Structure 1
Amino acid sequence: MSQRKIIHVDMDAFYASVEQRDQPELRGRPVVVGGNPNGRGVVAAASYEARRHGIHSAMPAWRAARLCPDAVFLRPRFEVYRAVSAQIQAIFRDYTPLVEPLSLDEAYLDVSDCPRLEGSATLIAREIRTRIREQTGLTASAGVSGNKFLAKIASDLDKPDGLYVIPPEQAAAFVAELPVGKIHGVGQATQAKMQRMGIHTGADLRRLSLLELQRAFGSRARFYHDLARGVDERPVRPSRERKSVGAETTFGQDLTDPADMLDRLALLADKVAASLERRRLAGRTVTLKVKYHDFRQITRSLSGDPVQSAADIRTRLPALLQDTEAGRTPVRLLGVTVSGLVTVTPDQARQLALF
C-alpha cells in the first residue's frame, strides 16, 4: 500500500484577519471579533496582535477589554467569512476531490493521487498557501504528513503563515516527544487520568500494552495505542453523511449567570448555523448540552419545524436552558447541536429564514 499524503490547512486568525484585510486601518492593531465588551459577549476570534495580550477565543469580552484596552472590538460578519471560505475550498478542490472541511477556516486534503508538482505534498501545500494569499489577501498555515493526526499537529507548529512537514519515517520519534494533551482525542479529563498513571508523553503512552490501555480507556484503547506510534488510518472523508451539526465550548471559569450562558450559546448558534448553511442542511431538533462543575452532563432537546438560521436556533435555547440547573449549579461546558437533518435548496433556505 502506497504512503498517504495528507495536508491540513488552517487559516491564520481567520475572522480577525478578514476584518484587517477589509479595513486596512486595523492592520497591526489588536482586533477582537465577538461580543460587546460592555455586555456579556465572548471572543470569537482574536488577531495575533491581540493574542500577545493573552486574549483567546471563548474568553469573556469584558476580560479581553481589560487585558488590552486599545483592542478594537467588532461583531462577526459570518456571511463574509462564508464567502471567503468558499473561495478557499475552491482552491483545495483544484488539487483533489478528497477535501474534508472541519470548519470555515480549516480542512484536510488527501493529495496521495494528485499528479501536480510531481506529486509532492510539500510543494502542493506551498502552492495552495500562495494561491490563498493571492486570491484572498489572507495567510494560511499548513501541515504535511502521512496521516490526519500528524498533519493537524504540524499545521500549528509554524504559525502564522508557516509550513511544517513531518516525514512518515519520523512519525514515531515525533510522537514520542509529544505531550499527551496534544494527542488527538485526549481531552482534559483523559489527560488528567493519564498523568495520574504517569503518562506524560507519547513515549510514556507507547510503553503500555494494548491490554493495559483497554483496562484503563476501554474502546478508545486501540486508537491511543496506534497514535502513540504515529499511526492514524482515518480517511479524509469529503462527503460524510452527517447526522448532526454542533459546536461546544469549555470555559476557563465556571459560569453561574444564565444570561451569561445565553450569550455564550448565541455564539455557538452562530457557528452551527454557518455550518448548516454551508452544507445546505436544516434540522428539526435542537439539543442543548450542559456539563456542570462536578462533570455531570445532561442534554435537553426540542423538536419542531426545520431550522437553519442562528436566530431560529437561538429561539429554542432559553426554554432548554431553563430546564437545567443553570443558575443554581456552576456550568463548565455548553454545547448546541442540530439533528434530524434534511437537505434544503437555496429557495427553501430563504423560506426558512422568512418563517
Structure 2
Amino acid sequence: MSMPLPCQPDSLPLSDLRWREILPLVGRANASLARYDGMLQTLPNSAILLSPITANEAVLSSKIEGTQATLDEVLEAEAGLVTSETRRGDIEEINNYRAAVSIAEAALGHRPITLSLIREVHQQLLQGVRGRDKTPGKFREDQNWIGRRGDPIEKARFVPPSPLVLNSALEEWQTYIGLTTEDPVLQTAVAHAQFEILHPFKDGNGRIGRMLIPLVLYQRQALSRPMFYMSEYLETHRDDYYDRLLGITDHRDWHGWLTFFLQGMIEQAEANLAKVKNIRDLYEATKRSVVDLTHSQYAMAVVDAFFTRPIISGTAFAQAAGFNNRVTANNMLRQLEGERIITKIREGSGRTPAIYAFPRLINIAEGKAIFREVEPRLL
C-alpha cells in the first residue's frame, strides 16, 4: 500500500469561487446573523442569560470528538453530584473547553486573534485531560493523519499538510483572518475549513476550529458578543461536515463546503434566535415571579444565580446570591421550590447540601425535555 501524500493547502484568500452562485447564501447568512445579534443586544446581561447555552456548546463540540457527557451531567457535577468514572474524564474535557472559550473571549477585548492566542487557548483545552501528552500549546513538528484508531498512515482518510509547510500556511491563515475586505460570514467559513485542513495541533483541532467561529465573527464586528455557536448543527450533520471538508482537499470543492456551512449558519442562527428569545422571556417571567413571591432585596441576585448555574447546591446558591446567612437562603429556596420554580434533585444531609435544578432553563438550553417540568404556580 502506497504512502498517501500530505495535503497541499490552497492559498488564501481564495481566488476562483463561483461568486454568482454563492452570494445569495452569503446574503441570507448575514441577514440571519444580524437578526440573531439584534436579539443578543436586547438582553440585559447576555453573559448570565447565555451561560447555559455556552455550556451546551462545549458539550456538543466535545461530543463531535467522542465525549458522551450531557449538559445536565456537566451541571450536576459542577454542583457537587458524584458522577460516574466513565463520565468524569468527559466532563473535565468539557470544562476545559469552557475555560478555553473564556480565555479567548477575554483576550479579544484587547488583542486580535493570533497564532499566539490560539496556542494559549489550546494549552488550556488539553490541560490535564486526554491529549495532555500531545504538546498542548505547541504546533506540531511532525506528520499527523486522520483515520480509524490504530490504523497506520497508509490507511489514513486524510493526511494534513507537511510540517515543512505548516508554519508558512498558518502565517497566511493569520493574515487572512485579519483582512477587513472579505465578507465576514464567508471569511469565517473559509477560516474554519482552512484551520481544520491545516490541523496544526496533535489533538484538539476540531474543538479549536469550532471555537474560532464566533471569535472571527466578533472580530469582524458581525456580532456584538462572541456568542454564536454552530456545534449543534455540525454535530447533527457530522458526516456531511467531514465529507464537505474532505471535498475541499480531495476535489478543491470549496463551493460545496461554503454551501454547507452557510446553510448551517442560517439554520443555526434561526435556532439560536428562538432559544435566546425563550431564555429572555423565561428570565423576565422568573424575575417578576420571584419579586412578587419574595419581596426580597435578594430577588434579582437569586434569579441571576439560577440562570448562571441552573443546577446548584444550597451552599453555592447562598454565596452566588449574596445572602448574609444560610437560614435566609434556605427559606428562599423553600419558597421557590414550593412555587415549582425550582426542583430539589438531592436532599441535604449533615454537611452535604441539598442540590436544586431549574428545569425550564435546562430544557431550553438542551433543546429537549431532560427534566420533567411542573407548571410553576406564578410563571
Decide: shared fold, TM above 0.5. no
- Greater share of residues in helix: 2
Q: Give the shorter-chain TM-score range.
A: under 0.3
TM-score normalised by length of structure 1:
0.25
- Greater share of residues in strand: 1
The structure with more radius of gyration: 2
Higher RCO (Cα < 8 Å, 6 or more apart): 2
